[in-house]
Amino acid sequence: MLFPLLVACDLIEPPEPITLITDLRVVTSIFEPPEVGVGDLLEVTTYVANPLDVEYDLLIWTCTPTGQGCWEQEIDLGPLDLQRGFRRRDPNGEPGPDGRPPLVTPVLPNPWVTTFQIPGTTVPLSAPFIDLDASALVYVLVCEAGTCPIMDLVESRSNFPVIPGEPRWTDLYPLFERPDAWFRELPSEGTHLAVRQLGLTTRDDGRNANPSANLSEVYHVLSDRSASQFERDAQVGETLLLRFTVTDDNRDGVWAHGLTSGGFVDDREPVKGGSVDVEFVAPDTPGCVRVWVQFEEDHSNGAALFTGAWNVSRGEPVAHCDLVE
């Protein structure tokens, strides 16, 4: 399949700054399924970009707006997940002078998968204060180790069942409901807060499903040649057109968003006729470069993610990327 003719000015078009990743960042969270009801098992797969390879903490929570706060507060439901990139204790280690196991520093898996069952036994989703035509909000916070005090607050309330007289999850939900109020007080570097909508429904059939996306062709603008989707080599500063085939049974509009340390020429591109081209600009520094392209439905909650690794060089032979795709 031929790509559109590219004029010389396209070769030097700079990437959009919003597509550049230079610091710790939540790339996206993919929900499976993207629309849920009472008792459903939800899988949240979270991808984090960590170009500086720092130790970080990850916190995931939900807030289903009721008009008077978060529904989760009514049933004393805590965050979905808290993972510390530091200060994790080894249950099999020799206790220290304080009687507690020693601290260890594990590497957080990336992506991180959280499995969660939608509750409904205490307060069903059909309760009158829940708008089933709306969505729950799923927040993901990543912070460089020691940066975000809320991580310690959450960890201090992580014991179940709740002990009478001890701090409860409900104490924190004013923070969970409006995280922008305290997030803006945090350092701008080494922190990132992302939010996505999760569809709620009482229907048993006709529910939305995630789109699918596959890289089908790669075009090297500088050398004017097409390459296999399995060829992952580029020159520093080179522009590559990545063509994707996208399928979405929901027939909703789908947009493609690219993120990388090099950048993309446009921050979003519409999928037309089941296909979309995005322009990836390789960085000016040789190395192994991670590329993410997210596909999001225009009016629904479905999403898909492509992740790949490219060898970027100045023309000399390079070793194969050791990044796992």
Condensed to tens digits (0 to 9), the pLDDT of residues 58-97 reads: 999 888 877 777 877 777 666 778 887 644 556 676 776 6
**CB-based contact 64:42 (threshold 8 Å):** no
Claim to verify: residue 88 and residue 163 sit in the same structural domain:
yes
**12 plus 85 within the same structural domain:** no
**Token pair for residue 102?**
């020693």
Tokens representing residue 152 in the block? 């310690």
The predicted model scores a pTM of 0.81
Supply φ then ψ for residue 68, to 5 degrees. Answer: -130, 20
DSSP assignments along 250-277, one per residue:
T---EEEEEEESS-BSSS-EE-BTTEEE
Total tally of structural domains belonging to the chain? 2
Residues, the chain, total? Answer: 325
Residue indicated by tokens 């990044």 = 323
The answer to whether position 321 is within a domain reads no
Question: Which of 144, 177, 200 marks a domain boundary?
Answer: 200
91 domain residue, yes or no: yes
Same domain? For 120 and 219 the reply is no
Provide the pLDDT for residue 107: 56
- 217 and 68 within one domain: no
Please check whether residues 80 and 191 belong to one and the same domain: yes
One domain for residues 133 and 83: yes
Sheet holding 135-144, edge to edge: 35-36, 191-200, 135-144, 56-63, 81-83
Both 230 and 306 in a single domain?
Answer: yes
Q: Which of 108, 179, 171 is nearest to 137 (CA)?
A: 179
Q: How many CB atoms lie within 10 A of CB 266?
A: 16
User: Mean pLDDT, consecutive 10-residue segments, the chain of 325 residues?
Assistant: 35 70 91 86 90 86 81 73 65 67 60 80 42 72 92 74 65 86 93 90 83 92 80 87 89 79 82 91 88 86 90 74 53
Q: What is the CATH number of the domain that holds 302?
A: 2.60.40.10
Q: Within this chain, do residues 53 and 161 fall inside the same structural domain, yes or no?
A: yes
Domain that holds residue 279: 8-18+208-313
In a domain, 324, yes or no: no
